[in-house]
Structure 1
Amino acid sequence: MPRPTTKIELVQVASEKFDKMWEVINSIPAEILEQPFDFSYDDKKKEAHWSRDKNLRDIIIHLFEWHELLLNWVNSNSEGEPTPFLPHPYNWKTYGDLNMEFWRIHQKTPLENAREMLKLSHNAVIELLEPLTDKQLFTKKHFDWTGSTTLGSYFISATSSHYDWAIKKLKAHKKSVLICLKEA
């Protein structure tokens, strides 16, 4: 489906991708999901996240924390409290450090807790969309606090685009474990 341009499409794509992500998670045998993620064999996987996330919990927590960023940002700014999307001292050049901080603070978060946190935060993001209009979501600079982009772009990034990222990573993990098992 093309990039959403209406609230209805945004909710539909976010929900479909979220469900697809859980289908992928549930389709991977537990013995594969429990294997540590290791993409060091693949020279094409150079971005920091390929070495950062070591397991399913790390991916789920990453998604949860980006939901939380969105929720905090929209709610604070909607209430008249000017708040940047990324918390101080982070910016778009250093958001990788923020991702590492999320990873660090959740190393003791149990997987089942992470799963529940993500489901709740996804629902909160969808609920946050409900009162918004297409104009509010997809008109550039409708809100001064969105800068030069649309509010909808932030929602897409924190939901369907991030869910696609997770699906790709989970499938790559499954493939790498299966390759290792065949070689063993």
Structure 2
Amino acid sequence: MGEAADRIVASADEGLARLLARTDAHPDADLTESYEGRRVADVLTHLHAWHQLLEGWLADDAAGRTPAYPADGYTWATLGDLNAALEAAHRHLSYDEARAATVASHARAAALVGSMDDAALASPEAFPWLGGDRLASVAHECLGGHYRWAQELLDRAGVPA
């Protein structure tokens, strides 16, 4: 694991631990106003779904296929529709199920990122399907950056830290 991978994974691990401590303390908090009627479990399943996207992109790339980025049938212009589809696909999960899925997919995604060398993570040319984005940035956004988003959402909802 390179230095950049170490930083991304360490930041993500720390961010997820802080987030889970908060959501575990308030699994039934009311997010109605700040997250369009969704539940705390939905925050976690959103994270889980984006971990799965990251895993899929890297698996497709490793198999020599061009990943559908951000997802098959979606563009960055239709990101809201993608997020709605991801939420609908996981809406049935309880808090405990959402938590377990998030922890497991975080571990898999972090291991994948951790196995990347710094040159691949840092080069905007390493993964042409990213359209010039660096994998380090994308991985951070799917992991630690997304955990910060979740914390901010909980802050807006008034969920105690």
TM-score by length of 2: 0.89
Structure number with larger C-alpha Rg: 1
> Offset at 1:107?
2.1
- Whole-angstrom CA distance in 2 between matches of 1:173 and 1:72: 31
Aligned ranges 1:26-37 → 2 under 5 Å: 26-28=24-26, 33-37=27-31
Match of 1:14 among 12, 17, 24: 12
Match of 1:25 among 15, 23, 29: 23
Residue 81 (1) aligns with residue 75 (2): no
Gaps of 5+ in 1: 40-44, 178-184
Aligned Cα root-mean-square deviation (Å): 1.9
- Whole-angstrom CA distance in 2 between matches of 1:26 and 1:117: 14
Tell me the percent identity.
23
Does the 8 Å contact 1:70/1:85 carry over to 2? no
- Whole-angstrom CA distance in 1 between matches of 2:71 and 2:130: 15
> Offset at 1:82?
1.3
> Offset at 1:27?
3.9
Match of 2:32 among 32, 38, 50: 38
- Whole-angstrom CA distance in 1 between matches of 2:104 and 2:97: 11
> Offset at 1:172?
2.5
Match in the other structure for 2:111: 127
- Whole-angstrom CA distance in 2 between matches of 1:84 and 1:125: 17
Task: State the number of aligned residues.
Answer: 158
- Whole-angstrom CA distance in 2 between matches of 1:75 and 1:35: 35
- Whole-angstrom CA distance in 2 between matches of 1:71 and 1:82: 13
Q: Output the amino acid matched with 2:59.
A: N
Gaps of 5+ in 2: none
Does the 8 Å contact 1:21/1:163 carry over to 2? yes
The alignment partner of 1:88 has SS state of: coil
Q: Which one has more relative contact order, counting CA pairs under 8 Å at least 6 apart?
A: 2
TM-score by length of 1: 0.79
The alignment partner of 1:93 has SS state of: helix
1:144-177 Cα offsets, whole Å, 9 max, x none, are 22221101111001001100011111232235x9
